[in-house]
Amino acid sequence: MTWQQRTVKLAPRSRGFHLITHELEQELIEMGKPHIGLLNLFIQHTSASLSINENADPDVPADLEMAFRTIAPENLPYRHTCEGPDDMPAHVKTAMLGCSLTIPVQSGKLCLGTWQGVYLCEHRSHGGSRKVVLTLHGEMGKVVDS
């Protein structure tokens, strides 16, 4: 069993839910396509988060963004406002969704379900680039297609 770690810098994205599964799969290939293992993803930010959700219907990310704007609106009487009206709601959303995911890996691929994808959840209007640390613990070796 080996450990590998790398940090991926994601391009800036607008507020909303953005599929990043393909970008992560490309990194996994560069990490050597483990036969079996676990991939931990950790986003190094407090106003963006990671989530696994449906990847097929484009209405899903739009509906998720609408729901989270309703749950944590900008017009509440927040005390932490020095970084703008979207900052504290972003922290609330990150607290709800979380900053890390662990995904099983088999035959060099993420073990996601048919309709699952990994999302970068950008909670700021102008969040900038985001860094995700990928930590892979796995058995390298011959990859057998399943």
- Using 50, 70 and 90 to split pLDDT, how confident is the model at 145? low
- Using 50, 70 and 90 to split pLDDT, how confident is the model at 144? low
- CATH 2.40.50.100 for domain 2-138, yes or no, is no
How far is 138 from 33, CA to CA, in rounded Å? 9
pLDDT 10s digits, 106-140:
999 999 999 999 999 999 999 999 999 999 999 98
Single-letter amino acid code for the residue at 99: C
How far is 18 from 39, CA to CA, in rounded Å? 19
1 pLDDT above the threshold of 80 = yes
- Using 50, 70 and 90 to split pLDDT, how confident is the model at 143? low
pLDDT over 70 percentage in the chain: 97
- The model's pTM: 0.93
pLDDT 10s digits, 24-54:
999 999 998 889 999 999 999 999 999 999 9
Q: Strands 116-122 and 48-54: what pairing? A: antiparallel
